[in-house]
Copies of this chain bind each other. A is one copy, B any other.
Amino acid sequence: MAKVLTPRAENYAQWYNDLVIKADLAENSAVRGCMVIKPYGYAIWERLQAELDRMFKESGHVNAYFPLFIPKSFFSREAEHVEGFAKECAVVTHYRLTKDLENGGLKVDPSAKLEEELIVRPTSETIIWNTYRNWIQSYRDLPLLINQWANVVRWEMRTRLFLRTAEFLWQEGHTAHETKEEAIEETLKILDIYSDFAENFLAIPVIKGRKTETERFAGALDTFCIEALMQDGKALQAGTSHFLGQNFAKAFDVTFTSREGKLEHVWATSWGVSTRLMGALVMAHSDDNGLVLPPTLAPHQVVIVPIYRSPEEYAATVDMAHKIGTDLKKMGIRVKIDDRDTQKPGWKFAEYELKGVPLRIAIGPRDLQNGTVELARRDTLTKETTSMDALHTQIPELLESIQKQIFIKAKTFRESHIYQIDTWPEFLEAIEKGGFISAHWDGTPETEKMIQEETKATIRCIPLNGIEEKGTCVRSGKLSNQRVLFARAY
């Protein structure tokens, strides 16, 4: 069978696009920059969402839903927020269409102009803090630990499926606290949840860190992030958690009576991950044959394919496929039995490789005689013949092992792509190879900007586990106290 994907080595960006489309994850829609998430892609997103939702609830958070639209004036309230978010956005100006008698079709009814334009939310801090004003009076109303699953819109000019789309799906947490310390603690607790989720569920190793002032969320006092490395050596920000201080409480006048009876402004955090994680998932693990999915996320963990030539062989192998499938399903394993006789086994093998199903069981007539099956692993592309009787112990073990192996592989790749660099010529050379560069930086936005302009590398984060170490900035030669991570990024 001809390869359906452009090989990674030939054109990584094209490989990614091919894969997202051919594996039925998503496609572009008739609306510029907006994607359609196809059923297979959405099934993966649903699993991701369910697990993260479980983790949020377990840590005391609840869900709610706030309006899609935000009055234009709300954005002007927080001085930095407006700079970051009120630019490229979808603006609703009218509320009615009417027949276009001149040109046919429909036109905007000029008499239905809104008094104040509405913005389709790019993020919901403003509308939520405007709402919190009425929910918070006393310290007894705190903390408020609320999350929202929603669609948001940012009018991106250059879009790429999952990685950067005008509309995307995400969760946004917005919490309110009595004290600064408690809000910072929440910010970091969420960062830990994100990191735990990325590593143990998505099998993507991440580095926890703090953003520089330049890269901070508009309106935050501090932004923390998890950064992942893709196979092409580019970094991807996989989640952010912001300490907002009292900025939004002040902008929207949200105060509470403290335990000491004083009126104080509330402390805030916000945090989010999005369908961008789907892009990270694809790029972290997949290969030239298609998706490689961690078993935790795979809509089907095992696919069973019968191999046959005659109608009798079809009947017998399909029968066994269902028998094995039923047993595995009873164990809680997600199994697909592909007993279609409209497609050949070879076609099916390629299809499930493309779709990233972690394990494939093939059953032929000889297997029936021998009590065996052919068991293939998607991650290593290895095959073995194994006894049918051993499947009920082997399959769960293998799924667990694949989950671990995928993570280890990604982690090994990342570890071998972190370069400790101390001179500018070395930096320039290393950045072309891809990967993270751990280097000293003088702490100024000016140097940060200069490096970005010269190399397209940004400071991904100041790692939280970094060791204090005196040094000199790789670009300016000025004094520095800690290494930071540079990379080109998605």
Binding site for B on A (CB under 8 A): 27, 29-31, 34-39, 42-43, 45-46, 62-76, 82, 86-98, 104-106, 108, 117-120, 127, 130-131, 134, 140, 146, 150-151, 153, 155, 167, 169, 342
In the complex the two chains form, what is the Cα distance from A63 to B50 in whole Å? 14
**A89 lies within 8 A of B93 (CB):** no
**A64 lies within 8 A of B91 (CB):** no
In the complex the two chains form, what is the Cα distance from A344 to B64 in whole Å? 28
Q: Please indicate the chain B residues that have their CB under 8 angstroms from the CB of A75 in the complex.
A: 97, 106
**A68 lies within 8 A of B140 (CB):** no
> Closest approach, in angstroms, between the C-beta of A120 and any C-beta of chain B?
7
**A87 lies within 8 A of B97 (CB):** yes
**A37 lies within 8 A of B65 (CB):** yes
**A108 lies within 8 A of B120 (CB):** no
Nearest first, the 10 A-B pairs at minimum CB distance are A34-B67, A37-B65, A39-B62, A91-B94, A95-B155, A76-B105, A93-B93, A90-B92, A31-B67, A29-B67
Q: Please indicate the chain B residues that have their CB under 8 angstroms from the CB of A95 in the complex.
A: 88-91, 155
Which of B64, B69, B90 meets A37, CB within 8 Å? Answer: B64
**B65 lies within 8 A of A31 (CB):** no
In the complex the two chains form, what is the Cα distance from A42 to B147 in whole Å? 11
Please list 23 pairs of residues, one from A and one from B, whose beta carbons are closer than 8 Å in the complex, sorted by A's number: A29-B127, A36-B64, A36-B67, A39-B146, A42-B62, A42-B64, A67-B167, A69-B90, A72-B97, A72-B105, A73-B105, A75-B97, A76-B106, A89-B95, A90-B92, A91-B92, A91-B96, A91-B97, A93-B93, A93-B94, A95-B155, A120-B120, A140-B342
**B42 lies within 8 A of A63 (CB):** yes
Q: Please indicate the chain B residues that have their CB under 8 angstroms from the CB of A30 in the complex.
A: 67, 71, 74, 127, 130-131
Name the CB-closest residue of B to A37: B65
**Known contacts A62-B43, A72-B106, A131-B36; is A92 also within 8 Å of B67 by CB?**
no
Q: Please indicate the chain B residues that have their CB under 8 angstroms from the CB of A96 in the complex.
A: 87-89, 91, 155
**A29 lies within 8 A of B167 (CB):** no
In the complex the two chains form, what is the Cα distance from A39 to B68 in whole Å? 17
- Of listed A76, A105, A106, A120, residue having the most chain B CB within 10 A: A106
Which of B45, B68, B76, B117 meets A120, CB within 8 Å? Answer: B68
> Closest approach, in angstroms, between the C-beta of A251 and any C-beta of chain B?
13
In the complex the two chains form, what is the Cα distance from A94 to B114 in whole Å? 13
In the complex the two chains form, what is the Cα distance from A191 to B265 in whole Å? 51
In the complex the two chains form, what is the Cα distance from A169 to B95 in whole Å? 19
Name the CB-closest residue of B to A39: B62
Extra contacts, 18 of them, besides A76-B106, A91-B97, A92-B92 (Cβ < 8 A), are: A27-B134, A29-B127, A30-B67, A36-B131, A42-B62, A42-B64, A68-B151, A68-B153, A69-B167, A72-B97, A73-B105, A76-B104, A86-B106, A90-B92, A90-B95, A91-B108, A92-B93, A93-B93
**B31 lies within 8 A of A43 (CB):** no
